[in-house]
């Protein structure tokens, strides 16, 4: 099973299309198209700088998103780990919730990690009454499902579609997926619990891939944008 995101700009505007008459190989074309991707990272709170660094190492232009104009310039978006209640509140204070919801509805590819997974879920079992999920993927989650900070752990996980062996996943106050909808793909599990899922253009993980030097999950997400 592989990720199936498709970048709207790549398919629609032609911004990422190959140059007419190009004799480049398929790998070269994909490398050139990937280099022209503009990937936003929501930068209201949390580990956004680490995601930007990971994406830059992958050879794409990654930038911090704090307002609607920056959001409009994204080919895809990363929602980082952090404090989900604070991030939810800051989405409202920055007037980003409505434009983000609109772009998600239009098919913006998005990769949410830890708190990002919580924000993108259908329901949050133990969220604050004023914490409104974006409902971009049909899963239910429970915040801090694996325990508090002292219960943080690492695990080697097998990710569907990921080459070169298991991925070392870092779980810090990670959410637990309590329900997976029928149209959601489970990409990785820990002890029978889904920890990475995808549906359409949405990919979520309950761990922090940006806290390692292994950029394979970021590369996998980028490759999915090229179709």
Catalytic residues: 114, 208, 210
Q: For residues 35 and 60, is the Cβ–Cβ distance under 8 A?
A: yes
CA distance 41 to 77: 6
Which tokens go with 153? 């752990």
Among 111, 103, 116, 110, which Cα is nearest to 143's? 116
Cα 94 to chain centroid distance, Å, stands at: 20
User: CA 124, 127, 129: angle at the middle one, nearest 5?
Assistant: 115
CA torsion sign, 29 to 165 to 211 to 220?
Answer: positive
Backbone angles phi, psi at 69, to 5 degrees: -65, -45
- Please return the burial class of 202, using the count of CB atoms within 10 Å of its CB with bins 0-12, 13-18 and 19+: buried
């Amino acid at each position: 099973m592989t990720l199936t995101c498709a970048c709207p700009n790549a398919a629609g505007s032609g911004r990422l299309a190959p140059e007419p008459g190009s004799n480049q190989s398929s790998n070269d074309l994909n490398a050139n198209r990937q280099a022209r991707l503009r990937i936003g990272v929501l930068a209201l709170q949390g580990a956004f700088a680490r995601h930007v660094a990971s994406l830059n190492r992958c050879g794409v232009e990654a930038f911090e998103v704090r307002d609607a104009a920056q959001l409009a310039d994204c080919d895809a978006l990363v929602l980082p780990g952090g404090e989900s209640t604070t991030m939810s509140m800051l989405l409202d204070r920055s007037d980003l919730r409505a434009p983000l919801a609109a772009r998600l509805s239009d098919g913006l590819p998005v990769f949410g990690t830890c708190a990002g997974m919580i924000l993108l879920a259908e329901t949050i079992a133990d969220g604050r009454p004023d914490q409104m999920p974006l409902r971009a993927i049909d899963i239910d989650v429970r915040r801090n499902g694996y325990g508090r900070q002292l219960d943080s752990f690492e695990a080697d996980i097998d990710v569907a579609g990921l080459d070169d062996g298991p991925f070392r996943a870092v779980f810090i106050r990670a959410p637990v997926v309590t329900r997976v909808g029928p149209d959601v793909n489970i990409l990785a599990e820990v002890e029978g619990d889904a920890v990475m899922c995808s549906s359409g253009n949405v990919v979520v993980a309950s761990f922090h891939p940006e806290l390692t030097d292994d950029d394979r999950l970021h590369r996998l997400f980028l490759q999915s944008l090229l179709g």
